[in-house]
Amino acid sequence: MEMWLIIFTNILAFILALIFGIGYYKKKKKEKVSQIRAELWGTAVFIGVMVFFNGIILYVNYSDEQRVKAAYTEMEKNNEERGNEEESFANLELSLKTDKNKGPDTHYIYVANFNKKVSFHGKVYIKTIINNKIVDGEYTTKKITIKPGEKKQIDHFDGTSFYDSYSWEWKGELN
């Protein structure tokens, strides 16, 4: 998650916590509850709101990290299974992962270049497939460069939420 979003949500949480905390403090004070007890209630509400918002941020960050880790692990495993010593397109891997936090139809594209000397320059054409034969969605990435040994997220797209598999084709050059 980007730093500005974390800062924004914490500022929002702080403002809401102040509003609810002070409001609850004033409510308790009107009910003729002791000053200390009213302050404790206001502080408890403040802490509760801050914990709630930061818990959401932590959950989203954890989910993002797990998605990235799963994509990289999948690409490494696929490369080990295919293992190609030559510098070629066979050493380029792709993983498509769905973001469950944004909805079942947001898909992130991760790529890796397991070549030792050559970079890839070009685009990737991706198809999502249902029942191993029906092409459900198609997406072409913008121009990318993947250096030797590099792994990264290159793009994301919205597509259908349920697909059985996906395929990709590298359109570009190695040099």
> What is the C-alpha separation between 37 and 14, in angstroms, rounded?
21
> What is the C-alpha separation between 66 and 61, in angstroms, rounded?
9
Q: Which residue has the tokens 């009213």?
A: 38
DSSP alpha helix (H) spans, the chain: 3-30, 35-82
> What is the C-alpha separation between 139 and 14, in angstroms, rounded?
41
Q: Domains of the chain: which residue ranges?
A: 3-63, 86-174
Give me 170's structure tokens.
């590298």
Ranges of the chain with pLDDT below 70: 1-2, 28, 32-33, 35, 38, 161
What is the tens place of the pLDDT at every residue in 34-80? 767 767 777 777 788 778 888 888 888 898 899 999 999 999 999 99
3-state secondary structure of 95: strand
Query: Side chain identity at 83, as an amino acid letter?
Result: G
Query: Side chain identity at 59, as an amino acid letter?
Result: Y
Class of the CATH-defined domain 86-174: mainly beta
| pLDDT for position 69 | 97
Give me 156's structure tokens.
């994301």
Give me 104's structure tokens.
């079942």
- Which one, of 140, 88, 142, 161, lies nearest residue 119 by Cα? 88
Q: Which residue has the tokens 């818990």?
A: 55
pTM passes above 0.85? no
- Which one, of 115, 118, 96, lies nearest residue 107 by Cα? 96
